[in-house]
Amino acid sequence: MTDPLAHVRELFDLADDVVYLDGNSLGAPPRAVAERLDDVVRRQWGRRLIRSWSEGWWEAPQRVGDRIGRLVGAAPGQVVVGDSTSVNLFKALVGAVRGTDRSEIVVDAGTFPTDGYIAGSAAELTGLSLRPADPDDLRLDERTAVVLLNHVDYRTGRLLDMAGLTERAHEVGAKVVWDLCHSVGVLPIELDALGVDLAVGCTYKFLNGGPGSPAFLYVPSAAQPGFRQPLTGWTGHREPFAMAAEYTPDAGIGRARAGTPDILSMLALDAALDVWDGVELADVRAKGLALTARFMELVRDLPGIEVITPADGRRGHQVSLRHPEAARLMAELIAGGVIGDHRPPDVLRFGFAPLYNTFDEAERAAKALEELL
């Protein structure tokens, strides 16, 4: 089939003898990142020294945030980059429930563990109860302050209905926080259009920002004046260099900042985002669905394999398989140059990044698994 993204693969530093299908854990490096970081270290830091803070470093969290905003359907001034997903999730949850007279936080029962841990801490510190619930049976009511949901399930690859679940939360007066870690860079997301209250996401998976690259936080413009996040660090101050004794939050998305930006990883992410210039998310989504469909077709009837990723369009860009010897199989696949990952006890995951993965790679991976079985 015609691949409108075939040319983008050349922008990545990938070995031809490796089939890399773990972009849902760590994206592959764009070629431009190393050169850009060399400039950051040698010139911006090495020659310009502290002057670089006033030559683009200070504004980087919002500037890079706006670049991600384009990928999640957010108008400029609503996304800020910095800190980790866990830290941003804590900001979002506590900010969502501060001042509420409601009594519970609801969290997706199958959520990625850190989301559950952070939600538990937020509930404990704010005096609310925490209730895990199946997204298909949330049972929300006037007690619910906020709902935390994963857009794509990290284990199965299932895609949740953002529009429908956001509306369901709003019907009972609750807010919703979406974790976009496994959907940003995968499919078109329309945070503004759907009236999402808050969202967080990481950048080292399908955005290819590099290991430990900073996460992002979305706060819509209308909600920013009332957003009181708990980590009131100096960079979120309205006048950070005034060094005032009292904290006054920035008027805009800057109030979601906390500590000094991690410039090296921030600017590596900035360089990595260049691969998205000129890319249409509709093309990314179409290719991702086709890649995963082809792979599922090839592995579905292999002995001992159970495909647990939805076969219809309700999936991200990963395929999860269940097999009793998943750990051994994945170790042998990796040794043979097909890199996916294993989730205990029995799940093999294969993440397809449409910017650089090909249909030939999907077939090579399926063939390698068939030979092992």
Residue ranges for the chain with pLDDT beneath 70 = 1
In this prediction, residue 2 carries a pLDDT of 79
Q: Is 113 annotated as a binding residue?
A: yes
216 inside domain: yes
Catalytic annotation on 204? yes
Give the C-alpha separation, 71 to 69, whole Å. Answer: 5
- Identify whether residues 157 and 246 lie together within a single domain: yes
Q: Is 235 annotated as a binding residue?
A: no
Catalytic annotation on 205? yes
Tens-place pLDDT, residues 6-43: 999 999 999 999 999 999 999 999 999 999 999 999 99
- Identify whether residues 76 and 61 lie together within a single domain: yes
Tens-place pLDDT, residues 255-299: 999 999 999 999 999 999 999 999 999 999 999 999 999 999 999
Catalytic annotation on 139? no
- Identify whether residues 169 and 315 lie together within a single domain: no
- Identify whether residues 140 and 165 lie together within a single domain: yes
- Identify whether residues 183 and 266 lie together within a single domain: yes
Q: Is 121 annotated as a binding residue?
A: no
User: Among 341, 307, 329, which residue's Cα sits nearest to residue 373?
Assistant: 329
User: Among 9, 33, 34, which residue's Cα sits nearest to residue 23?
Assistant: 9
Residue 305 contacts residue 329 (beta carbons within 8 Å): no
Catalytic residue, candidates 91, 131, 205, 287: 205
Catalytic annotation on 101? no
Catalytic residue, candidates 31, 66, 112, 192: 112
Of 224, 242, 276, the one marking the end of a domain is: 276
Catalytic residue, candidates 90, 154, 204, 206: 204
Domain range spanning residue 299? Answer: 6-31+279-372
In this prediction, residue 1 carries a pLDDT of 65
Q: Is 112 annotated as a binding residue?
A: yes
Q: How big is the CA angle at 86 (ends 82 and 88), to the nearest 5 degrees?
A: 45
Q: Is 182 annotated as a binding residue?
A: yes
- Identify whether residues 43 and 83 lie together within a single domain: yes
Catalytic annotation on 197? no
pTM check: above 0.85: yes
1 inside domain: no
In this prediction, residue 158 carries a pLDDT of 97
In this prediction, residue 219 carries a pLDDT of 98
